[in-house]
Amino acid sequence: MEEKTLKNLMDAFAGESQANRKYLAYAKKAEKDGNTNAAKLFRAASDAEALHAQKHLEVAGKIKATQENLKDAVAGETYEFESMYPEFLKAAEAEGNKAAINTFTLAMEAEKVHAKLYKEALENIDKTEEVSYYLCPVCGNIETSVPDKCSICGVPGSKFIKY
């Protein structure tokens, strides 16, 4: 694949991925505001953007065998908690932005867990026993069983979402 097309596919993937998440956030806000129709439109558009992003990633040749995808996920999560978020935290601390410090810290701690879980999945790739995962809806922590409370942000385990 030509370098320019690959770059364009990856830029399109990034843009579509961001739009997907942004529109989902807009949908949640519209629901809170009582605007059901806008919420439905934002959810539909969010799903459409996710479809676009996935197709761009596929055409770019970035979706590999599960083992390779797990290795890529470990590398990405590790980069986030070792390099990206520490730098973001330094800037937020220097600027005294407490909200940014909080969101970066929670995400950084959750990324450590994600990397660990991806490593475990890679190590256990041939095991067929089904595993359930539980997502903290506040900080993004993932557990393999429902905790009493989130080890990162303290949210009650009863709020966790099962996968």
Instruction: Give the pLDDT of residue 1.
Output: 84
Q: What's the whole-model pTM score?
A: 0.91
Instruction: Give the pLDDT of residue 111.
Output: 98
Q: What does each of the 163 residues of the chain score in pLDDT, given as a tens digit?
A: 899 999 999 999 999 999 999 999 999 999 999 999 999 999 999 999 999 999 999 999 999 999 999 999 999 999 999 999 999 999 999 999 999 999 999 999 999 999 999 999 999 999 999 999 999 999 999 999 999 999 999 999 999 999 9
DSSP 84: I
Domains and CATH numbers, the chain: 3-59 (1.20.1260.10), 65-129 (1.20.1260.10), 130-163 (2.20.28.10)
C-alpha–C-alpha distance, residues 58 and 78, integer Å: 23
Cβ-contact 46, 27 below 8 angstroms: yes
For residue 125, the tally of other CB atoms under 10 A from its CB is 11
C-alpha–C-alpha distance, residues 15 and 8, integer Å: 10
* The two three-digit tokens of residue 119, written as one number: 């490593």
Alpha carbon 114 to its chain centroid, in Å, reads 9
